[in-house]
Structure 1
Amino acid sequence: MNRPLYTLLLHLALPLIALRLALRARKAPAYARRINERFSLGLPTMQPGGIWVHAVSVGESIAAAPMIRALQSHYPELPITVTCMTPTGSERIQAMFGNSVQHCYLPYDLPWAAARFLERVQPCLAVVMETELWPNHIHQCAKRGIPVVLANARLSERSARGYARFAKLTAPMLAELSLIAVQTQAEAQRFLTLGARPECVEVTGSIKFDLKIDAELLQRAVELRRQWQAEQRPVWIAASTHAGEDEIVLAAHRQLLTTRPDALLILVPRHPERFNSVHDLCISEGLKTRRRSMGEAVQASDEVLLGDTMGELLFLYALADIAFVGGSLVANGGHNLLEPAALGKPVLSGPHLFNFLEIAAQLRDAGALSEVENAAQLADRIATLLNEPSEMQSMSQAGLSVLKANQGALERLLKDLQRLL
């Protein structure tokens, strides 16, 4: 498939795209808003000529945040436009940056929509986070001489096989990129095999290692646990959980309560449209559950705190003693293991970590990550750690050491961006 055929098929698929939006809007009403932006219609007023950063959703937005702040500091005269594809990503961008950046949804990958977007923004540099590759957006940038950087790039073996099936589309698209700043050497080789230009592929590492924790956030967590009178209470968090995973986590918590009846689980579903259904699940399991969004103090009788707020995940990690990172007991590929590690928490996950193989391997080899396969193993591992403070401390220090050893990717990336600017 070449780009003209891809574009034709994309136009033919527009009714299906509209149907998918409508179905998503039934679960998450925010998908029904600002639809015009997805077609480059009614875009907000933009100051042209700056840097455009695309972060598809919440995870990429969080990963991009240190880079965006550094760009704001280094180039205060340049407007920065940040786009995403999801309402949760949009909320996160607005919460992190407010009016200090320009923001809208990225239009669909239609040539006329991409052209209209670029005419409005007129960036001097485009930075796309991780693996969000859109042939028409990239081609429209190339036509205008706008350098495009794929930053913090990652490409799993599975994704590489998918792209390889469409070589006539993939190879020309990758050849139009000015820089592919990849996380690992293995991923660099995958991009080269798919057709990227060798002089444009550079291993910079993952900027997720350059996460800096605000001391004030840690202090707020200590204060809140004091207010809850839960300084000595065992607290664990299951974060970014997916459908089918919450049941496993709750079963593990019920098992843990048989030996540690004062244990508190902070359960944070990945997607906000699931907050209500997960709350109903907790109640149906007979667990006394309090919702974080209500702003009420946790009581000694509470067994679950549902993290049903946006933009608080780091703070909720800070409240816990042990962190389980979701998307890993189901075949979703896992989520960011480095956030809890940066907070000095022992990190647990399921076996499905194909989105973070390199990071998981480093944490595992250092002794900072434990993997479990089911509810019984999860409960047993948490109970063991709670009974062995020295092992918890060892895992904590190992995680912090891995982060420290890998930092510097952001600085390397910023030097490359400066060269292109």
Structure 2
Amino acid sequence: MARHLYTLIYSLFLPIIIARLWWRGRANPGYRQRVAERFGFLPHRPRPGGLWVHAVSVGETLAAAQFVKQFMEQNPNTPVIITSTTPTGSEQVKRIFGERVFHMYLPYDLPSFINRFIKNIQPGALVIIETELWPNLLASCAKHDLPVVLANARLSEKSARGYAKLPALTRPMLHSLSVVAVQNPTDGQRFIELGLPTGRMKVTGSVKFDVTVPEDCHKQGVALRGQWGADRPVLALASSHPTEDEQLLDIYPALEKAIPGLLLLLIPRHPERFEPVTNAARSRHLHVHRRTNGNVSDDIQIYVADTMGEMLNMLAAADVVVMGGSLYPGGGGHNPIEPAALGKATLIGADHINFTSIVNELTEAGAIAVCESLPALQDEVIRLLRDSIAREAMGHKGLDVVESNRGAVAQLLALVKEQLSD
């Protein structure tokens, strides 16, 4: 009954959802492309029995990358279908996998669209990356006897409270899951308290610790620094959201006064923000350069990374990294494992609820510093940029944490293999 009411409400709001999609296409034209896929009409027809992986956007796609690559190596004859929700997620799939996988947008969560999609691709199992739970998606999977693995699952206390308010929707969804591979026992217990059968919960750790740094990544970082001035100190703000770039731009004069020659590297999370971030720097009368503008002049103060897929190379060029998504209320934070895997001194803001357990482990090891306010962030940036020994020590500790936590991908591969063979 609850799901039918949800379906009715979703149907009534669908015109607004579509209008919002079209509106977002003003800034990112990708939202106006391949719209038919969102209604379950497929551009591809893979062989039946493939592995379907749903990775909603950029972060989830990056988290899934090593798992998918290793699955394809071990199962070369099994087609892989990856669905996304956002154009930026789609671009990441194409960048990482090219034509080696079938990529489509996930249909809207209405039974007719989801059932059409599943009937056409006839997958052998679905792997959902992190906690992207949709009532009709999971009900349709149950209807088609499709095993579902919730991988790299996390569930914050806040999210758990939200799910708990809708038990008539939450419990059926959790009972539709074959396995929930959680990042840590605390989050696993939250799933169980919401109704997940105990035997279906497995603690595997985070697949993000299995990040692979490309062989030429550090070389690319050195090349970038050569363009900027090899001896210049570099502060990076990674995966930034609205207001975060502005916060760093506001304290940049004080930072530059304390650290002469400082270059601030801004890496917006979404491409529609490249222009606003550039304008924000110019409005403060700072010398700004964009990655796509070619040669760099010696007097630049702000460098805007206005390309996608170069995050690791950019971070490899930095001395200190500030993780975005954490400097404003409700942001939740972004993955601090990538700069740690590069051996970079890393800072994160007060709101990192999406990565609480990871941040706690890195903090306890001295591999990351949590800054509760902008003044605290400013002080910590200055301290680290002045103290190369402290920076390097923090970076080495981060590497140690990453290396000691590898192995989640192998466990996930084993779980998925069991579901495909059943």
* Shift, 1:215, TM fit: 2.1
| 1:297 match | 295
Between 1:33-42 and 1:233-242, the stretch displaced more is: 33-42
* Shift, 1:34, TM fit: 1.1
Gaps in structure 2 of 5+ consecutive residues: none
Gaps in structure 1 of 5+ consecutive residues: none
Residues 252 and 378, structure 1, Cα contact 8 Å, conserved in 2: no
Between 1:40-49 and 1:91-100, the stretch displaced more is: 40-49
Residues 259 and 385, structure 2, Cα contact 8 Å, conserved in 1: no
Residues 248 and 374, structure 1, Cα contact 8 Å, conserved in 2: no
* Shift, 1:229, TM fit: 6.0
Between 1:258-267 and 1:121-130, the stretch displaced more is: 258-267
- 1:398 match: secondary structure: helix
The TM-score with structure 2 as length reference comes to 0.97
| 1:348 match | 347
* Shift, 1:42, TM fit: 4.7
Residues 322 and 348, structure 2, Cα contact 8 Å, conserved in 1: yes
Distance in 1, matches of 2:371 and 2:325, equals 13
Residues 251 and 375, structure 1, Cα contact 8 Å, conserved in 2: no
TM-superposition CA deviations, 1:51-92 (whole Å, max 9, x none): 000000000000000000011001000000000000000011
User: Identity of counterpart residues, as a percentage?
Assistant: 45
* 1:21-420 equivalent positions in 2, closer than 5 A: 21-226=21-226, 228=227, 230-294=229-293, 296-331=294-329, 332-420=331-419
- 1:52 match: secondary structure: strand
Residues 345 and 395, structure 2, Cα contact 8 Å, conserved in 1: yes
* Shift, 1:41, TM fit: 2.3
Matched AA of 1:237: A
Residues 255 and 376, structure 1, Cα contact 8 Å, conserved in 2: no
- 1:224 match: secondary structure: helix
Distance in 1, matches of 2:12 and 2:30, equals 25
Between 1:160-169 and 1:25-34, the stretch displaced more is: 25-34
Aligned length: 419
Distance in 2, matches of 1:185 and 1:68, equals 24
Distance in 2, matches of 1:161 and 1:386, equals 40
Between 1:203-212 and 1:33-42, the stretch displaced more is: 33-42
Distance in 2, matches of 1:377 and 1:254, equals 16
Distance in 2, matches of 1:158 and 1:373, equals 19
* Shift, 1:314, TM fit: 0.9
Distance in 2, matches of 1:413 and 1:393, equals 33
Distance in 2, matches of 1:339 and 1:160, equals 27
Residues 324 and 348, structure 1, Cα contact 8 Å, conserved in 2: yes
* Shift, 1:216, TM fit: 1.1
- 2:22 match: secondary structure: helix
Residues 182 and 204, structure 1, Cα contact 8 Å, conserved in 2: yes
Matched AA of 1:23: W
* Shift, 1:199, TM fit: 1.0
The TM-score with structure 1 as length reference comes to 0.97
Distance in 1, matches of 2:243 and 2:346, equals 20
- 2:332 match: secondary structure: coil
Moved over 6 A (4+): none
* Shift, 1:221, TM fit: 1.5
Distance in 2, matches of 1:261 and 1:237, equals 16
TM-superposition CA deviations, 1:328-349 (whole Å, max 9, x none): 1102010000000000000011
Distance in 1, matches of 2:138 and 2:42, equals 22
